[in-house]
Amino acid sequence: MLNFTELLEILRFVGSKNKQKRFRENETFHNVYQPTREELVDAIYKLKGKWKTEVFKNDNPLVLELGCGKGEYTVGLAQRYPDRNFIGIDIKGARFWRGAKTAIEEDIPNAAFIRTQIELIDHIFAENEVDEIWITFPDPQIKYQRTKHRMTNLHFLERYKKVLKPDGLMHLKTDSEFMHGYTLGLLHGAGHEVLYANHNVYKLEGSPEEVTEIQTFYENQYLEKDKAITYIRFKIN
């Protein structure tokens, strides 16, 4: 019989093989883009300013999901709004492999994925190229020394502003009361426009349908534990 350590080693080996398989499969997907850091930083990226015309072949609004994980929200939004283009962004390609594969299998042409770091967003998209940005269930980075990694800190908001249209919308959906409160306080303090805020979208009236009708795997786990899901819609002035 295997001991605990041997079992862990087997699971790590299997997990590693699955990741490698997904990485290889991502390279064959027409809806996955994996630019190198050098391609983004050392030159003007070939698709910057051209995502609508070169990738989606239309002039529909462009919506991003940052830190998209498995891509469930990107795919869900794309299915719900076929007249908009959606791009999920995450550094972990083995995760969004699921969303990319689903989009291909179910013929969802308005969903795509980019494997890159969020802080490079203004190297990927041109000024005023993006209509909306969703941030769904980000790591709240609660420790003070991790503040610079919070996806709604002032540094990140300035990067988002560079690519958003002047009237572009931001959405934050999270299970973290800390992240919700931190972001609201920061937005009010910086003079940004909070359009809507809800600290428990499934129990308080008025929640937008796209917030409550699209649920990720982890969100369902939070709901089973009766954990409040929060939401903020805002503009960066």
Can you name the residues that pair with 111 across neighbouring β-strands?
86
Distance CA 212, CA 63 (A): 18
Amino acid at 109: P
Q: What is the dihedral of CA 176, 178, 183, 185, to 10 degrees?
A: 150
CB 155 within 8 A of CB 118: no
Please, which residues have CB within 8 angstroms of residue 13's CB and are 6 or more apart in sequence? Answer: none
Q: Comparing C-alpha atoms, which of 76, 25, 38, 46 is closest to residue 219?
A: 76
Q: Which of 59, 107, 131, 139 is catalytic?
A: 139
Do the strands 85-90 and 111-115 form a parallel or antiparallel pair, or are they unpaired? parallel
Q: Comparing C-alpha atoms, which of 201, 141, 145, 147 is closest to residue 171?
A: 201
Give DSSP secondary structure letters for 130-169.
Answer: EEEEEEES-----SGGGGGG-TTSHHHHHHHHHHEEEEEE
139 is catalytic: yes
Please identify which residue in the block is written with the tokens 């008025």: 206
Sheet of strand 85-90: strand arrangement: 32-33, 111-115, 85-90, 62-66, 130-136, 164-174, 230-235, 193-198
Q: Kindly list the catalytic residues.
A: 139
